[in-house]
Chain A
């Protein structure tokens, strides 16, 4: 099946700095790549997603880039704030399997004030 690798597993940044989380995937037919944020004790929530027909998508301080050739995608958070502290999960679908997502292991982001 699809194999999604996520790095780093933990990331600490100072408030105002940028944070980058990277994921790689194995199925060249994958075409949907969402990112979820999970705050402590809460459910995972979608923060941004990208489909394979675009290379970059931005939403205020959050952006995602996709490199289909290299089969990797990244989450960029600029001007980080303490409330960005959470676990972030990347995911990818698989071309042959409708709907199911394959998740990375997660990145614990801590933003220090």
Chain B
């Protein structure tokens, strides 16, 4: 079946502008995660949604970052008043959290954000 998809694949914006990044998880997956990966760096956790529970926002770097997940499916990550240090690849992942409660996370292709 279809994997995790993200759009746009690339986004170039000017400093100070707002951007929205979209993630479509695998159908039926209850958990959705956002990560940030700067060039040559590791995976920085941003936020985690699980079903109808309150999201774990502990990784969001500032109040300019927010995310929502509508209808338990599609998620949007919004960055307000973008700064150059926001330039990175933003990765989304989803998992089913089935009976074992620790299922595999499947990653999307990412959105490469460049802030000029």
Interface residues of A (CB under 8 A from B): 31-32, 34, 36, 42-46, 49, 51, 89, 93, 97-106
Q: What would 12 more interface pairs be, CB under 8 Å, given A42-B109, A44-B91? A: A36-B107, A44-B43, A49-B104, A51-B100, A51-B102, A98-B97, A98-B102, A99-B97, A99-B102, A100-B48, A105-B41, A106-B43
Task: Label chain B's interface by main secondary structure.
Answer: loop
Interface of A is mostly: strand
CB–CB A103/B109 < 8 A: no
- Of the candidates B43, B102, B108, which one forms a contact with A31 in the assembled complex, judged by CB atoms under 8 Å apart? B102
Please report the C-alpha to C-alpha distance between residue A42 and residue B3 in the assembled complex, in whole angstroms.
14
Contact of A106 with B104 in the complex, beta carbons under 8 Å: no
Number of B residues near A (Cβ < 8 Å) is 23
Residues of B at the A interface (CB closer than 8 Å) are 31, 33, 41-43, 45, 48, 50, 56, 91, 95, 97, 100-110
* Interface pairs (24), CB distance under 8 Å: A31-B102, A32-B100, A32-B102, A34-B104, A36-B107, A42-B109, A43-B107, A43-B108, A44-B107, A46-B105, A49-B104, A89-B42, A98-B31, A98-B50, A99-B33, A99-B95, A99-B97, A99-B101, A99-B102, A100-B56, A101-B105, A102-B45, A105-B42, A106-B43
